[in-house]
Amino acid sequence: MSPAYLHAAREKNLANADIVLAVTKELADTLRRGEGHPIVFPNGCDFHRFDRIAEVERADDVVLPSPIAGVVGQFNARTDLDMLSAVQERGISLLLVGPRSYASTDESARFEEFVQREGVQWIDRVPTERVIRYLKCLSVGLTPYADSTFNRRAFPLKTLEYLAAGVPVVCTDVAPLTGFDRRFVQAAATPETFAAAAAATVDAMVPMDREKVRLSVEAFDWSRRVGELLGLIGEKGC
Q: Where does the pLDDT of residue 176 fall: very low under 50, low under 70, confident under 90, or very high at 90 and above?
A: confident
**Residue 164 vs residue 37, higher pLDDT:** 164
Dist CA 232 CA 24 (whole Å): 17
Topology of domain 47-218 in CATH is: Rossmann fold (3.40.50)
Distance between CA 72 and CA 94 in Å, rounded? Answer: 11
Residue closest to 49 by CA, chosen among 125, 133, 124: 133
Domain residue extents for the chain = 3-44+220-236, 47-218
State the pLDDT confidence band at 238, using cuts at 50, 70 and 90. low
Give 196-228 pLDDT, tens digit per residue.
999 999 988 767 688 999 999 999 999 999 999
Q: Cα(195)–Cα(83) distance, rounded to whole angstroms?
A: 7
Distance of alpha carbon 151 from alpha carbon 80, whole angstroms: 11
Percent of the chain, pLDDT > 90? 89
Single-letter residue type at 189: A
Contact assessment for residue 69 and residue 86, using Cβ atoms and an 8 Å cutoff: no
Question: How much is the average pLDDT of 82-87?
Answer: 98
Say if residue 29's pLDDT is above 80. Answer: yes
Whole-number Å distance between alpha carbons of 228 and 207: 35
- pLDDT reported for residue 138: 96
DSSP state of 71: E
What is the SS3 assignment for 69? strand
Query: What integer is the mean pLDDT of 148-168?
Result: 95
